[in-house]
Amino acid sequence: MNPKAKLYLAATPIGNYDDITLRVLNTLRSADLIICEELKPARRLLSHFDINKELIQLNEHNEKDTAPIVIEKLKQGISAALISDCGTPLFSDPGHYLVEQCIAAEIEVIPLPGASSLMPALIGSGFDFEKFYYYGWLSPKKEIRRKELNKLKSINEVIVILDTPYRLKTLLADVVKIFGNEQKMVLAYKLTMESEKFYRGSVNKILSIAEKEDLKGEFVLLIDNANRGYRKS
């Protein structure tokens, strides 16, 4: 295999472009090819940093078809950077199959650390999270989602959940139904943006705020099912 063939997994900002790392920026500028989840947000990001590169779109709909094309290009000795719409690639985003195929083809895979929603949400929550349970995305189907929440109720840790902005209030209502009105939680809302905010308290209180303020934005939900409360020094 050509030793120059490399796939970089480049973490990009989740809201604030200033969060991009120098290493990621230098990689995007030097890579021969950039593989992106969607073209529009990729072009917006690259234009912001005055980067003009060949783009190949790879997402959940076309990854199995696109990965072999990328592999063939990499075998020719090029370097490519994989980015998602925002945050760390493969973290609730496409790219797993491509990475699997690169490893099988003995193409070097190099992760570049950077922004993700998980760590800012945890460290800003105030919870004791030395141990936590990351569940990620719940099902969009109501009955399945409630079954998932019922299973999570038996896990005595800080539980981390993601979902789309338009399901925030529905999700909070389901958490009330499964965990009860007084379940302690934190809603990490619009992380890294100017309007970033942490809503802390009972799920019933946060649901009332979400309904009153009609909250619609990216979020991470943290449920303190361990009942350890806030970290003590």
- Say whether pTM exceeds 0.75: yes
pLDDT value of position 230: 56
Q: How far apart are CA 208 and CA 172, in angstroms?
A: 10
Show the low-confidence residues of the chain (pLDDT under 70): 1-3, 228-233
User: What is the C-alpha separation between 24 and 10, in angstroms, rounded?
Assistant: 6
- Residue 31 phi, psi (nearest 5): -65, 145
pLDDT at 233: 40
pLDDT given at position 1 = 57
Do residues 20 and 1 touch, judged by C-beta distance below 8 A? no
Domains with residue ranges and CATH for the chain: 6-112 (3.40.1010.10), 118-224 (3.30.950.10)
